[in-house]
Amino acid sequence: SRPSLSLTEIEGKLTLLCDAKTDGSFLVHHFLSFYLKANCKVCFVALFQSFSHYNIVGQKLGVNLTVARERGQLVFLEGLKSAVDVFFQTQEEPHPLQFLREANAGNLKPLFEFVREALKPVDSGEARWTYPVLLVDDLSVLLSLGMGAVAVLDFIHYCRATVCWELKGNMVILVHDSGDVEDEENDILLNGVSHQSHLILRAEGLATGFCRDVHGQLRILWRRPSQPTAQRDQSLTYQYKIQDKSVSFFAKGMSPAVL
Amino acid sequence: MAAVATCGSGAGTTGSAVATASKSNVTSFQRRGPRASGTNDSGPRLVSIAGTRPSVRNGQLLVSTGLPALDQLLGGGLAIGTVLLIEEDKYNIYSPLLFKCFLAEGIVNGHTLLVASATEDPANILQELPAPLLDDNSKKEFDEDVYNHKTPESNIKMKIAWRYQLLPKMEQIGPVSSRFGHYYDASKRIPQELIEASNWHGFFLPEKISSTLKVEPCSLTPGYIKLLQFIQNIIYEEGFDGSNPQKKQRNVLRIGIQNLGSPLWGDDICCAENGSNSHSLTKFLYVLRGLLRTSLSACIITMPTHLIQNKTIIARVTNLSDTVIGLESFIGSERETNPLYKDYHGLIHIRQIPRLNNLICDESDVKDLAFKLKRKLFTIEWVQDNYLRQERNIYPPGFSYLLKQKDSAWGEGSLQHSTFLMSFLAKATAFASRLVRHSEPLKQTGSGRIHQAAGPRLWHDGRRQEAPGLLGIPP
């Protein structure tokens, strides 16, 4: 069974999702449905796939993104569609993906403003949502779009200051691990975010290659970034198999296919 | 919250998962019915477009790539709204054929084509499309196979190996054919009247780049900017994204881009390791995918990745594409003279399959695939051979090391190799199966004792049973 992440433990925490030689997007879908079910206010910067993709998978996991968006619980930035808008039409107001029009790599300030605006507490009297969450899928796309690693790290830093410290919310970020392809910018980004994370979930493909029954391995690492390293970081490893509506986890070598 | 949710209203119905009957949906990911498991029409239906079919797994609308064998490997076909990236083979002999099959399939199905190239005039490309193999015979069971996805694993392998030999049987109706997936004769040209009857748009870079279109400075290569504008224009003008109130389009746009990334496009990633414009191509792909996701179109791109100096760019390009396949031809490599490969022209690698509307994807179990271009047909087959296995490194680590040594006594074909392989595989299977235990012969005693043959034997008390002999331990 999967280790549960209770809300009180991880308030104001940054969780890093990382995938190496495999697709870790199932973790993104899990966290999205998890936080929506927990009645959190979620800002989802979805750069990788379209809204309907996340919506359809979300429905399999038990959440309806359309309804959540209409209720105001979910603020969704659809990267692919917004990129087309920014690219082909001049925008009057600064657009979160404004950097796509610029000749030189700028900074991600408009994107940060978007996030801050989305998650700022609304003074409506009663508190509707438990706490805010920023979800990003995925950060490596920003590098492909011309942003430098330092600019992206700055963006994460600003978001952390606002979302984790000021608003006591959580952040969940997906970064690809390029592995033996020497993507220096990506390595800088990955190392930088790892150092700031409280929890790292790393999905790896099996070293022996493709397997139909075990899709990969998940390493879970708990960290205490703010404290000096007196305590040893805890880590656990599970193997998993992704199914149509869920993911099943088991200890290494204990796949039902082998037993 | 309308101001903040930038993608909220926009083109209207991108959010809804189920197609609403009244307004034509612009989402390319549409479900045919409420759930993908059945094909019942209890919910609102999508009007079916010629040459498309929904995927059984996730209701995704698919088009054929022009090669039924490739369609099988990709889980039924190419999903509308996605990009298929083909990594060109070294001398660019076979990738143009796949490119042309894709376009020819569009003509046969009556789809609109958009052909972009920096090397060849699109009109010439269309002239060289292969002729479809059309037959007047009545339907055979091939049709049922095409529509039947629930075949067990073994059947799929057989299918790749011999089913493609059957020619499609279809009636001559509608455009030219409403069947899904056709075969093409690479030695003949497509009939001229089919080209003339089709609706196509060409983008030939040398012509477009000379026109003085006002282009804002941006880090994309001018050629890419022009191409994106051209594509977006066609999509809007002809109503493929549903946003044009004048146009009600119920057709698919097939986009083919040739040799993307080559120096002729103005990009220098094939010339220099750290070019000035290293993000141009990845940005282009991102915006292109955005255009595709919001329209009824599918795109095929061939790219000379073997020329790209910077491996990082290849990795990023792969991540930003949906489906990626690579062609590796045997020409000029040592495999050309290998008798194992004498029937084939190269290998085809399925590098990436997208997960669309799903946690899982249709990954095929078959990993060793080779292709050949016979006189007429381009075919893909599953190849089981030792070389590929060796390269995939499924041997135990120590053994691989031995194999890699030059003139090693453990090389392929040697007795030691075969014996080791047999016993290794035997032990591996014996370990995995708990119900049957093989009694392994004891260590060589040197006394010439005849061992009992290995065979299935049930363990009664957890110890090996063996016939008493000279080495029976004295009590």
For B425, the token pair is 């595989």
SS3 A114: helix
SS3 A70: helix
Please give the class, per CATH, of domain A14-251: alpha beta
- Residues A2 and A107: their CA atoms lie apart, in Å, by 38
- Residues A256 and B3: their CA atoms lie apart, in Å, by 49
- On chain B, the residues whose CB falls within 8 A of the CB of A52 are 14-17, 27, 29, 357
The yes-or-no verdict on residue B397 having pLDDT over 80 is no
**B135 pLDDT tier (thresholds 50, 70, 90):** low
| Contact state of A244 with B311 under an 8 Å Cβ cutoff | no
Of A50, A103, A144, the CB nearest to B286: A144
What is the average pLDDT across B102-123? Answer: 93
pLDDT at B34: 39
| B334 touches B290 (CB < 8 A) | no
**A149 pLDDT tier (thresholds 50, 70, 90):** very high
pLDDT at B383: 65
What is the average pLDDT across A183-195? Answer: 92
Amino acid identity, residue B457?
A: R
pLDDT in tens, B260-307: 999 898 888 888 777 667 889 999 999 999 999 999 999 999 999 999
Report how far Cα B130 is from the mean position of its chain's Cα atoms: 20
- Residues B310 and B261: their CA atoms lie apart, in Å, by 12
pLDDT at B21: 33
Tell me if chain B has a CB within 8 Å of the CB of A113: no
A31 Cβ contact list (under 8 Å, min separation 6): A15, A17, A135, A172
Complex ipTM value: 0.91
- What is the residue-wise DSSP string for B385-443? -HHHHHHTT-S-HHHHHHHHSTT-TT-TT-HHHHHHHHHHHHHHHHHH-SS-EE-PPPP
Beta partners for residue B54, in sequence order: B61
Q: In CATH terms, is domain B52-137+179-391 a member of 3.40.50.300?
A: yes
**B88 pLDDT tier (thresholds 50, 70, 90):** very high
* Strand pairing category for A234-242 and A216-222: antiparallel
pLDDT at B180: 83
- Residues B127 and A239: their CA atoms lie apart, in Å, by 53
The yes-or-no verdict on residue A50 having pLDDT over 90 is yes
Using CB atoms within 10 A of its CB, is residue B324 exposed (0-12), middle (13-18) or buried (19+)? buried
Tell me if chain B has a CB within 8 Å of the CB of A89: no
pLDDT at B444: 44
Q: State the pTM of this model.
A: 0.75
Tell me if chain B has a CB within 8 Å of the CB of A134: no
pLDDT in tens, B398-412: 565 566 566 666 666
Percent of chain B with pLDDT over 90: 27
Those of residues 93-112 in A touching chain B at CB distance below 8 A are 95-96, 100-105
The yes-or-no verdict on residue A1 having pLDDT over 90 is no
As a whole number, the mean pLDDT across chain B is: 71
**B183 pLDDT tier (thresholds 50, 70, 90):** confident
Tell me if chain B has a CB within 8 Å of the CB of A33: no
**A17 pLDDT tier (thresholds 50, 70, 90):** very high
Every domain of chain A and the residues it spans: 14-251
- On chain A, the residues whose CB falls within 8 A of the CB of B17 are 52, 55-56, 59, 66
| Contact state of B29 with A56 under an 8 Å Cβ cutoff | yes
Shortest alpha-carbon distance between residue B291 and chain A (Å): 6
For A184, the token pair is 């220096």
- Residues B32 and B51: their CA atoms lie apart, in Å, by 15
Nearest residue in chain B measured CA to CA from A144: B282
- Residues B394 and B424: their CA atoms lie apart, in Å, by 11
Distances (CA, A) of A181 to B270, B302, B311: 17, 22, 6
The yes-or-no verdict on residue A162 having pLDDT over 70 is yes
Percent of chain A with pLDDT over 90: 53
For A203, the token pair is 């999905």
pLDDT in tens, B423-449: 766 666 665 554 344 444 444 444 444
Using CB atoms within 10 A of its CB, is residue B111 exposed (0-12), middle (13-18) or buried (19+)? buried
* Strand pairing category for B130-132 and B112-117: unpaired
Question: What DSSP element (H or E) covers B297?
Answer: strand B297-303
pLDDT in tens, A217-246: 999 998 876 655 556 678 888 888 888 888
pLDDT in tens, B239-256: 888 777 777 768 899 999
Of A6-10, B141-145, B239-243, B320-324, which gets the smallest average pLDDT?
A: B141-145
Count Cβ atoms below 10 Å from residue B62 Cβ, excluding itself. Answer: 23
| B323 touches B83 (CB < 8 A) | yes
Picking from B72, B248, B243, B85, the residue whose alpha carbon sits closest to that of residue B162 is B72
The yes-or-no verdict on residue A58 having pLDDT over 90 is yes
What region does A62 belong to: left with phi over 0, alpha with psi -120 to 50, or beta?
left
Which of A10-19, A98-107, B186-195 is modeled with the greatest confidence? B186-195
B432 Cβ contact list (under 8 Å, min separation 6): A258
The b-or-e profile of B397-414 (16+ CB within 10 A means b, else e) is: eebeebeeeeeeebeeee
Those of residues 142-201 in A touching chain B at CB distance below 8 A are 143-146, 176, 178, 181-186
Shortest alpha-carbon distance between residue B452 and chain A (Å): 29
| Contact state of A77 with B358 under an 8 Å Cβ cutoff | no
| Contact state of B355 with A23 under an 8 Å Cβ cutoff | yes
Distances (CA, A) of A241 to A34, B292, B360: 19, 31, 10
Residue of higher predicted confidence among B371 and B460 = B371
The yes-or-no verdict on residue B25 having pLDDT over 70 is no
